[in-house]
Structure 1
Amino acid sequence: MEARVERAPTGWREDRGEASLADVHRSIAVRRSGPGWRRAAAFLGPGYLVAVGYMDPGNWATSLAGGSKFGYTLLVVALVSNIMAIVLQSLCARLAVGSGRDLAQACRDAFPRPLALGLWFLAEIAIIATDIAEVIGTAIGLNLIFGIPLELGVVVTALDVFLILYLQRLGFRWVEALIVTLLGVIALCFAIQIALADPDWGQVIRGFAPTTQIVRNPEMLYLALGILGATVMPHNLYLHSGIVQTRAYGESLPERRQALKYATIDSTVALMFALTINASILILAAATFHKTGQTAVAELGDAHKLLGPLLGLAVAPTLFGIALLCCGINSTVTATLAGQIVMEGFLKIRLAPWLRRLITRAIAIVPAAAVTIWYGDAGTAKLLILTQVVLSLQLSFAVFPLVMFTADRAKMGELVAPRWLVAFACLIAVTIAALNLKLLVDFVAGAA
């Protein structure tokens, strides 16, 4: 007896239109039978593309600043941010599988056009902020390893579009393979550095305990929100809801339930890996810089210079530079895909990937180049941390629609989010909004 094919939810105003990332939509086959691990393997990949956004160069700057200034205290922020990320990314997978839409398409369909355009504008700002962080991070990585001047490195980063285009021609699995390989290199680099740093593991464990000091100290809150913005990133919500649909998982309800289960497992495991990397950056900064009284290290270049003498091994700075460069390359791939999903979903405008990439790169390169030319290395860390706080401020405008859609049975049908998950997601959304409001109040009070 054939599996029943459920009708698409009828709570949407119009047809979805062209599928998200149409050139790779449902392009990866999913086994209908056989061992569960073989079927699960087909869904391995999107979670790691999402995880890249949780360990990009902007995250490095905020984690280095937090670890060097406050030791292990902000580890709890990385943990809480990661829990928020796991919940929100599971909702992205649910939206994609349950409605057949990515978040941008859902916003375009559900909201009046002026509001949808406003959300599109905010999403583009978030992607630009992400891209600025990637431009600077990749340029610094090129400088640390090959000695390429920062100003030239910023321009060179625009050429990564050719790498992305080549991989996309080979197939989406090749894009995922590149991401996973580079993530492996990053993990190896940090494992060696953490072993050399020999942190106080008792302090590390205590760092995961909550403290009200984070909210009471404006400077700590600023860095905490930077870590939150660098961890739970708006463009990742759009990205995940699009790339989950690269799997050909079928249309029957059992097939879609299975797809949701495996997609959620994929993203959860990948985000736990991202937490390990993020915590490693903060632990490394706390164990090397904070421990020796160097509490103002936020520059990636300064961290690179100081790691050698502090860890007593000449290869340590090189490992740091390699990991940073890998992070920058990874992030450029995912930001391109997110930009494509946002533009096509909100505006129904399809641009060639190379053109989309060059446009976003050009917008990101102008401020990044201006800062590196005018201020040199000293200005890059401030811009990196600022981009992460901007991302945090943009986050609510993606989170609230996501929670609304996945809680609506008319839009999601049988795959509507359970009440406990909706309640948890609402708590996360309100917490993010409250923290951002607190940051704005502190900022205005400080400027007055």
Structure 2
Amino acid sequence: MSKKHTESLGDIHSSVSTENKTGWKKILAFIGPAYLVSVGYMDPGNWATDIAGGSAFGYKLIWVLLASNLIALLLQSLSARLGIVRGLDLAQASRITYPPFVNFWLYILAQIAIIACDLAEIIGMAIGLNLLFGLPLIWGVSLTITDTLLMLFLMNKGMRKLEAFIVSMIFIVGLSFLVEMFIVQPDIKEVALGFIPSNLTGNALYIAIGIIGATVMPHNLYLHSSLVQTRQITRTDAGIKTAIKFNMFDTVIALNLAFLVNAAILILAASAFFKNGYFQIAEIQDAYRLLENIFGKTAPVLFAVALIAAGQSSTITGTLAGQIVMEGHINLRIEPWLRRLLTRALAIVPAVFTILHFGDEGLGDLIILSQVVLSLQLGFAVIPLIHFTSDKKKMGNFAIGTLVKIGAWASALIIVGLNAKLVYEQVNSWIQAAPQSAFWVYVVVLPIVGGIVLLLLYITLRPWLFKHKDQPIYIPHGIASQLGDLGAIEYHHIGVSIDFSKNDTNSLRHAIMQGGKKATYSLIHVVETAGARYYGGEVLDHETQSDVDNLDQYISALIKLGYKAEAKIGYGIAAIAIADIVNKEKIDFIVMGSHGHKAFKDLIFGTTVNKVRHMVNVPVLVVKPFGK
């Protein structure tokens, strides 16, 4: 079994070559991972905080955006360094450092954060569809589940095509806001003054914390440490150093572009609303309507298109992050489309509940709540990351230096401190808003917060206080065994799946190559009509009769050629029927023709070959169609 299936995002690990390239071609080979990461900084959650900040305080919070971006740059560079040097993503490094119990809760918190982030994407997409086409929000929320198909399609097309799609979405967002900057014509002098730090109190502090939480996203740290491993590099000090340098270029460019987009949203809100006396615009829908009232049709349409693009691209990167944390923390690997579907379904539930019980107006508050939930996870990603990249024993010459370490711990302290304040204010507001419910806050919420604080203290202090050996890196498929005598194997009973296509001849030829004239050949065909599913062997419909006749023709032809052959008909679901026949007839080798489906067809028609492989204990030879 290939080693690559034990790596982070195994299907695309080391799938992009960087060797034998120089100059701009070398730079372009490394460009991509940070762009996928950067879309997390342009999702609807960022939009909500940027719009609130710009409308309520004008240009005064641009410096908070800049500070958040600098922190994100530092932490993302550490994330890329971890993936390049150790060949582990952040979740995998956590798994071999902390006990299974701790990893389980780290996974739960990371998954909750991903669901919270996905919730913001759902709301953003629904709002964008509502603004452009008048589609009711409840229908827009429900339709967002279909993006699972788009994700599946792009994942099957390869890493470069996925990156190209994301970059095109970023281009749409950036172009939309560039055009809107010309429309609103902001005051350049006042924009420049906004980069000077000012005192933060009251609502300005609350919004600033929201901006930081929405910018420094935890799942992006997991994502970046894995995506940098999609590049093939030379595992020497020189090769690793080169990879770190070019990934740093990628990170700086991509995250600064994300900063410009977020700054554009805040400037747009300040120019359109604050300057026109609208000081409490906190919802995306209100921003759209006011843009239409002040600037006509063009600006709001661009705004809605950019919103949809941002939500769609962030959804895909969230799916990748979900795969990374699941496989990394708890070693659970399931199909990407199924994981995506589960995450989306869990995120849709609160959105639908909010619309039904609080109306469309409740979605704005729900986005803010999703950012609060998201911010809780930050410390659990940032602190282990700093520990891992500071470890000279594991990182060698590539461990971070003293100045970088000081900057990283200062960033962590700021993030955890501000998020702690955010949580405190949120809990306190719940108690004050509904005193009759204070009992449940004390009984339910505070113990949860206490448990989270204890977990945070544990992952912070353990590397300093307790000497430990890393757990062995679990390899899902085991270790290669010692090779001995490799004599030829004789198969006595070979099964061949038949579907009456052009591939049958190829499958039979490969089967005969394995067994010659000594083996017995069972030709297996499964009738999959509705009648066959319900009545099994009792069905006598036209398709069944036709299939039996066709199979008999194959048998007669093989017998005339001197081979021992027999027909086996199955009924119902193909994979189950084939596996039943193989096990019942004690077939010791099976040849199956690959149907050649990809992406959407796999989802619709199923992947029979893969299912059969997991249901039988004999070798399976998969024969592709001619020309594939």
* TM-score > 0.5, shorter chain as reference: yes
Deviations 1:210-248 (A, max 9, x none): 112x1x32x222211111111110000000011111111
Find 2:152's aligned residue among 160, 165, 177.
165
Following superposition, the deviation at residue 208 of structure 1 comes to 1.3
Deviations 1:94-116 (A, max 9, x none): 00011110000001110122222
CA–CA distance in 1 between the matches of 2:4 and 2:116?
A: 28
Which amino acid in structure 1 is aligned with residue 330 of structure 2?
L
Following superposition, the deviation at residue 348 of structure 1 comes to 0.8
Where does residue 385 of structure 2 map in the other structure? 402
CA–CA distance in 1 between the matches of 2:168 and 2:5?
A: 34
Where does residue 56 of structure 1 map in the other structure? 43
Change in 2 beyond 3 A, CA 1:441/1:357: closer
Find 1:374's aligned residue among 357, 369, 375.
357
Following superposition, the deviation at residue 119 of structure 1 comes to 1.3
Residues 35-434 of structure 1: matches in 2 within 5 Å? Answer: 35-212=22-199, 214=200, 216-217=201-202, 219-311=203-295, 313-434=296-417
CA–CA distance in 2 between the matches of 1:316 and 1:145?
A: 12
Where does residue 30 of structure 1 map in the other structure? 18
Following superposition, the deviation at residue 355 of structure 1 comes to 0.2
Deviations 1:9-36 (A, max 9, x none): xxxxxx999100000000111123x432
CA–CA distance in 2 between the matches of 1:40 and 1:178?
A: 19
The question of whether the paired residues in 1 share the 8 Å contact of 2:52 and 2:281 is answered with yes
Larger Rg: 2
CA–CA distance in 2 between the matches of 1:30 and 1:178?
A: 20
* 3-state SS of paired residue (1:295): coil
Deviations 1:148-173 (A, max 9, x none): 21101111111111111111111110
Which amino acid in structure 1 is aligned with residue 22 of structure 2?
P
Task: Give the alignment's Cα RMSD to 1 decimal.
Answer: 1.5
* 3-state SS of paired residue (2:400): coil
Change in 2 beyond 3 A, CA 1:444/1:23: closer
Deviations 1:248-307 (A, max 9, x none): 112122111111111111011100000000000011001111111212212211111110
The question of whether the paired residues in 2 share the 8 Å contact of 1:88 and 1:425 is answered with yes
Following superposition, the deviation at residue 431 of structure 1 comes to 1.1
Change in 2 beyond 3 A, CA 1:300/1:117: same
Equivalent residues, number: 429
Deviations 1:311-370 (A, max 9, x none): 2x3111111100000001101110000000000001111111100000000100000111
CA–CA distance in 2 between the matches of 1:348 and 1:144?
A: 42
Find 1:21's aligned residue among 5, 9, 34.
9
CA–CA distance in 1 between the matches of 2:284 and 2:110?
A: 27
* 3-state SS of paired residue (1:54): helix
CA–CA distance in 2 between the matches of 1:178 and 1:444?
A: 40
The question of whether the paired residues in 1 share the 8 Å contact of 2:19 and 2:232 is answered with no
Deviations 1:375-417 (A, max 9, x none): 3331111111121122222211110000010000112122211
The question of whether the paired residues in 2 share the 8 Å contact of 1:50 and 1:240 is answered with yes
**Structure 2: tracts of 5 or more residues without a match:** 433-628
Change in 2 beyond 3 A, CA 1:385/1:226: same
Following superposition, the deviation at residue 445 of structure 1 comes to 4.9
Following superposition, the deviation at residue 439 of structure 1 comes to 2.5
The question of whether the paired residues in 2 share the 8 Å contact of 1:221 and 1:439 is answered with no
* 3-state SS of paired residue (1:31): coil
Following superposition, the deviation at residue 374 of structure 1 comes to 2.6
Which amino acid in structure 1 is aligned with residue 255 of structure 2?
L
The question of whether the paired residues in 1 share the 8 Å contact of 2:5 and 2:11 is answered with no
Change in 2 beyond 3 A, CA 1:195/1:279: same
Q: Greater strand percent: which structure?
A: 2
The question of whether the paired residues in 1 share the 8 Å contact of 2:213 and 2:419 is answered with no
Which amino acid in structure 2 is aligned with residue 105 of structure 1?
Q
Once the two structures are overlaid, the 10-residue window that deviates more, 83-92 or 63-72, is 63-72
CA–CA distance in 2 between the matches of 1:319 and 1:328?
A: 14
* 3-state SS of paired residue (1:40): helix
The question of whether the paired residues in 2 share the 8 Å contact of 1:161 and 1:354 is answered with yes
Among the aligned pairs, what percent are the same residue?
49
CA–CA distance in 1 between the matches of 2:360 and 2:285?
A: 7
* 3-state SS of paired residue (1:377): coil
CA–CA distance in 1 between the matches of 2:286 and 2:424?
A: 32
Once the two structures are overlaid, the 10-residue window that deviates more, 182-191 or 368-377, is 368-377
Q: Greater helix percent: which structure?
A: 1
The question of whether the paired residues in 2 share the 8 Å contact of 1:132 and 1:364 is answered with yes
Which amino acid in structure 2 is aligned with residue 435 of structure 1?
L
The question of whether the paired residues in 1 share the 8 Å contact of 2:116 and 2:370 is answered with yes
Where does residue 4 of structure 1 map in the other structure? none
**Structure 1: tracts of 5 or more residues without a match:** 1-14
CA–CA distance in 2 between the matches of 1:117 and 1:358?
A: 21
Change in 2 beyond 3 A, CA 1:260/1:109: same
CA–CA distance in 2 between the matches of 1:398 and 1:354?
A: 25
The question of whether the paired residues in 1 share the 8 Å contact of 2:103 and 2:330 is answered with no
Which amino acid in structure 1 is aligned with residue 146 of structure 2?
L
Where does residue 7 of structure 1 map in the other structure? none
Relative contact order, higher structure (CA 8 A, sep 6+): 1
The question of whether the paired residues in 2 share the 8 Å contact of 1:226 and 1:386 is answered with no
The question of whether the paired residues in 1 share the 8 Å contact of 2:4 and 2:13 is answered with no
The question of whether the paired residues in 2 share the 8 Å contact of 1:47 and 1:266 is answered with yes
The question of whether the paired residues in 2 share the 8 Å contact of 1:123 and 1:235 is answered with yes
